[in-house]
Each structure stands twice: as structure tokens, then as C-alpha cells.
């Protein structure tokens, strides 16, 4: 049930607007309070009175129709929403959102809201496949908006293909599942490390690795969406801080060691996804090293083994490590799991195309200390993060 959930439903101008009536009804039946915004084109298909009768709330159609002089309607509505749904979402409204255009009640309100946004497209199959539409959708998705993909079938234009608005029952089901997940890690304090470290040689040179930090950032983003209080210790990467995540930037292995150990005791779940340098130059230079004839030899010393020390120190924490391997990944992962006293380890073979450093996808084996393994097939790092966190949640409950 969606009892008490405050939903703003934006209806744009397509024949599928009639399905938005059924969607409104199902949301109300699930206990949600629904307020509807209609574009001018949407009103050519369905009247505002229809939605008003179903939702038992006024319908918003005009940015300048200020019913309450003490409030700015589109700002008040944007702030009021727990979630914001656009169904059907035409190519036009998707383009407006992607390009920051606010020229009517719906586009103005969507730009002002901080609620979770769901977009359910509906359009001709060729429009849906157009590069401009795909680009706009990709842009919006990168902002964290959730797309509910259209179904395939007979379209009003006579074509058969992808572009039909997803059924109201499915849209409601997606929202219900997401609302359940928002409580999955509620109250849990999570500490996640991500990215590489840089070990200085001189003012212009350092040793590092290829880690992009994308996997750790995906874990932090999903964990925060699912209710966890997340602290992210990040090496030098050019990634945006996920919403509702406390970020601590570090550069060296020693700085990462200090930051993680500072926040370890008050954490419930610790995921060390960072690729921390195992060695650093024994001597660093304050001035730039000059080129000389012959070879150059640099002596290295070991950095502190952060994960091993956490394993020795842990009390109530559920400790998860990562093992990026190139040969015999499972056997090396098992060895690391035991030697570092971990609760679980995430293993991947970085030589496999599409799952190495810098990639947007991953494929991993989740190995629990009990010996139970779970294989998460090739998917986006966002999706892999969801599967990892769901498994961690299950293991914590069992333990």
C-alpha cells in the first residue's frame, strides 16, 4: 500500500492520457493522495474534471492561476510531493526537462521539485528511437530520474512496436517496490570507500591505478536511496557526490587509512571498494626530479593494509572487501576473504571485456564467509550495486 504518499501526476499531451485516469484511480485506491497537473495538449484528450473527480483534488493547468495568494502554486506543489510521476511523457516534455525549459505548469513544477521522479514515456516507435529523444532520456536518467519503459504493441498511430505507455498496474507496482526498498537499509550507518589513491614522487608525478570510483559511488548512491546514512571516502575522481551522501575526499593511501579508521567504529556496514595503493615511494621530492641519462630506480615501501586492520578491529560491523583479479579470481578472492577476516567479498576478473576499471558495467561474484556464492551477471554498476546491497541486507538478517 502507498498510504499517505503524496503524488504529483503530470499528464502530457498524448492519446495515452486516458490511461493516466486509470493510474490516478489505482494510486488513490492504494492510499496515495494525488494531485494532477495537465498540459494544454493533454486537455485535448481528457478533461481536468475527470481527474478532479477521481483524485478528489483540484487539477492544475495554468502556471498563472494562483488559487491561494499566500503561496506560489508550482513551488508549493513541487515541495508537497513525495514522488512525481509523468505519465504519459511525450517526446516534447522529455525534451523540455532535459534542456531546462519551463514554459507551463508541468515543466515549471518538475524543475522545482526535489521529489523522486518517475517518467513513463509514450510515443510513436520511431519517435522513441530518435537520437534526440534517446539523448534527452540519457541526460535525465543521469540526474537520477527513473524511467518506466514503454511496452510493445499496437500503437494509436497504427504502428506496432515499442512506445505504448506501460500499464497503470505495472507503474504502481514499480513505485510500491521502490518505496519498500527505501526502507531496506533504513537506520544503517554505512562507510564506503571508492576510487584510486595517488602516491607522490615529486610535485608533478605520482603513482596511481586505473580505478574510476564508479562502483563505489554506485553503491553509495543506492544505499542512500534505500535509507542508509552513508559516508563515502573517495580518492581523486571526477564523479558527482550522490544525493544525501557525506563525502570525504582523500588522495593518498595514508589519508584513506586515517579517514576510514576515524569513521569505522560508528559504522554498521563497511564496504571497501577503493583500489588503494599497496606501495608508495620510499622517498618523495619537494622539487621536480630532473631527467638524467640512464635508467631510474625508485624504491617503494608498503602502505598500511587497511582492510586487514579493519578485519582485526571489527566488532559489530559487517565488513565487505573487493578483489579485482586477473587470474584465478575465485581462489584469490577466497584467500583474501579468510586472511582479512571479512564477512563477504566481491570478486571480479578485470581482464573480462566490459567489467574492468573505467567501465560502466560489471560482473561479480559475491562470496560470503559461509562459503555461499552468488553470481551477478553483466549489468550496469548501478544494477550490480543494488544486487550487492540486497544480498548484504539478507546476510545481515541471517547473521
- From the CA atom positions of the chain, what is the Rg in Å? 25
Q: Is 82 exposed, middle or buried (0-12, 13-18, 19+ CB in 10 A)?
A: middle
Q: What are phi and psi of 122, to 5 degrees?
A: -155, 120
Buried-state track 221-243, b at ≥16 Cβ within 10 A, e below 16: bbbbbbbbbbbbbbbbbebeebe
Low-confidence ranges of the chain (pLDDT < 50): none
DSSP letters spanning 55-69: HSS-EE--TT--S-T
Helices and strands, number each (H, E), in the chain: 13, 20
Structural domains in the chain, sorted by start: 6-181 (3.40.50.1950), 189-398 (3.40.50.10300)
Q: Which residues contact 368 (CB under 8 A, 6 or more apart)?
A: 343, 344, 395
The pLDDT tens digits of the residues spanning 262-320 come to: 999 999 999 999 999 999 999 999 999 998 899 989 999 999 999 999 999 999 999 99
Which residues, 6+ apart, have CB-to-CB distance to 182 below 8 Å?
Answer: 225, 226, 227
In 10 A of CB 298, how many CB atoms?
A: 12
The DSSP output letter for 43 is G
* Residue listed under C-alpha cell 493510474: 23
Burial class (CB in 10 A: 0-12, 13-18, 19+), 217: buried
Q: pTM for the full model?
A: 0.72
DSSP 103: -
Q: Which three cell numbers stand for residue 230?
A: 552513508
Q: Which of 159, 156, 160 is nearest to 17 (CA)?
A: 156
Question: Which residue among 102, 157, 379, 396 is the active-site one?
Answer: 157
Q: How far apart are CA 395 and CA 291, in angstroms?
A: 54
Distance CA 322, CA 366 (A): 9
Kind and range of the H or E element at 376? strand 373-380
Rounded to whole angstroms, the Cα distance separating 24 from 333 reads 50
Q: Please give the pLDDT value at position 70.
A: 84
* Residue 292: partners with Cβ closer than 8 Å, 6 or more residues away: none
Q: How far is CA 324 from CA 193, 210, 336, 362, in A?
A: 15, 12, 11, 11
> What pLDDT was estimated at residue 157?
59
Grid coordinates representing 300 are 617503494
157 is catalytic: yes
Mapped onto helix, strand or coil, the DSSP state of residue 134 is: helix
Q: Could you tell me if 151 and 119 are in contact, meaning their C-beta atoms sit under 8 angstroms apart?
A: no
What distance in Å separates the CA atoms of residue 167 and residue 87, rounded to the nearest whole number? Answer: 10
* Torsion sign, CA atoms 223, 225, 226, 231: positive
Left if phi > 0, otherwise alpha if psi is -120 to 50, otherwise beta: which for 342?
beta
- CA neighbor of 85 nearest in space, from 153, 172, 15: 172
Q: Where are the alpha helices (DSSP H) in 130-265?
A: 131-142, 168-181, 214-225, 253-264
Amino acid at each position: 500500500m502507498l498510504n499517505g504518499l503524496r503524488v504529483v501526476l503530470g499528464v502530457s499531451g498524448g492519446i495515452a492520457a486516458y490511461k493516466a485516469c486509470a493510474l490516478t484511480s489505482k494510486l488513490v485506491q492504494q492510499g496515495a493522495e494525488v494531485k494532477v497537473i495537465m498540459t494544454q495538449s493533454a486537455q485535448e484528450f481528457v478533461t481536468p474534471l475527470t481527474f478532479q473527480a477521481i483524485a478528489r483534488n483540484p487539477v492544475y493547468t495554468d502556471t498563472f492561476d494562483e488559487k491561494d495568494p499566500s503561496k506560489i502554486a508550482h513551488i508549493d506543489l513541487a515541495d508537497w510531493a513525495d514522488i512525481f510521476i509523468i505519465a504519459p511523457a511525450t517526446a516534447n516534455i522529455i525534451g523540455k526537462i532535459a534542456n531546462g525549459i519551463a514554459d507551463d505548469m508541468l515543466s515549471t513544477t518538475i524543475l522545482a521539485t526535489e521529489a523522486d521522479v518517475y517518467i513513463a514515456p509514450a510515443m510513436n516507435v520511431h519517435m522513441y528511437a530518435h537520437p534526440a529523444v534517446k539523448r534527452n532520456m540519457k541526460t535525465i536518467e543521469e540526474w537520477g530520474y527513473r524511467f518506466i519503459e514503454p511496452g510493445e504493441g499496437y500503437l494509436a498511430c497504427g504502428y506496432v512496436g515499442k512506445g505504448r505507455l506501460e500499464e497503470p498496474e505495472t507503474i504502481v507496482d514499480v513505485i510500491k517496490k521502490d518505496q519498500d526498498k527505501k526502507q531496506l537499509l533504513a537506520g544503517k550507518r554505512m562507510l564506503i570507500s571508492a576510487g584510486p589513491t595517488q602516491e607522490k614522487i615529486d610535485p608533478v608525478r605520482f603513482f596511481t591505478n586505473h580505478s574510476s570510483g564508479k562502483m563505489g559511488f554506485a553503491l553509495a548512491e543506492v544505499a542512500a536511496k534505500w535509507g542508509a546514512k552513508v559516508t563515502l571516502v573517495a580518492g581523486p575522481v571526477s564523479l558527482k557526490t550522490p544525493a544525501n551522501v557525506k563525502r570525504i575526499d582523500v588522495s593518498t593511501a595514508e589519508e584513506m587509512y586515517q579517514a576510514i579508521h576515524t569513521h569505522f567504529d560508528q559504522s554498521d556496514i563497511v564496504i571497501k571498494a577503493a583500489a588503494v595503493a599497496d606501495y608508495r615511494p620510499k622517498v618523495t621530492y619537494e622539487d621536480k626530479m630532473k631527467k638524467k641519462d640512464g635508467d631510474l630506480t625508485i624504491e617503494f615501501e608498503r602502505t598500511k593494509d587497511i582492510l586487514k586492520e579493519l578485519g582485526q578491529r571489527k566488532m559489530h560491523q559487517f565488513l565487505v572487501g573487493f578483489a579485482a583479479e586477473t587470474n584465478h579470481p575465485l581462489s584469490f578472492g577466497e584467500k583474501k576473504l579468510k586472511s582479512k577476516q571479512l564477512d563477504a567479498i566481491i570478486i571480479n576478473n578485470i581482464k573480462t571485456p566490459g567489467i574492468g576499471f573505467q567501465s560502466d558495467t560489471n560482473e561479480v561474484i559475491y562470496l560470503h564467509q559461509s562459503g555461499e556464492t552468488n553470481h551477478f551477471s553483466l549489468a550496469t554498476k548501478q544494477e550490480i550495486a543494488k544486487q550487492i546491497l540486497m544480498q548484504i541486507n539478507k546476510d545481515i538478517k541471517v547473521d
